[in-house]
Amino acid sequence: MADAFRKLAMAAALGTLLLAGGMSGCSSISTDRADCNVVKLQTESGRSDAEIASAIGASVKDVAKCHGPEKSGNKTSNDAIPSAY
């Protein structure tokens, strides 16, 4: 019986350690890039790059990288229309 409790205690300790380590690891992950969706919305509302960078905690250079052509597969709405029509 004592052996079963020892195994249970070890499993609980290991689970707690993994959970604590995982949560602390998430907080240390940081990105140097700005969220381009947020930048686009803020730009459309008339804010400058410096204001946006200050508001989201990014550099003006990272905010400026969000300007320009879209980098997804659907670059423009005209690409969705076949040229044969």
**Cβ neighbour number for residue 82 with a 10 Å cutoff:** 6
What's the whole-model pTM score? 0.45
The predicted-structure confidence for 20-62, as pLDDT tens digits, reads as follows 766 655 544 455 577 888 888 999 999 999 999 888 888 899 9
Q: What is the mean pLDDT of residues 67-85?
A: 58
Q: What are phi and psi of 41, to 5 degrees?
A: -65, -40
CA distance readout (Å), 30 to 2, 27, 42, 61: 45, 8, 22, 17
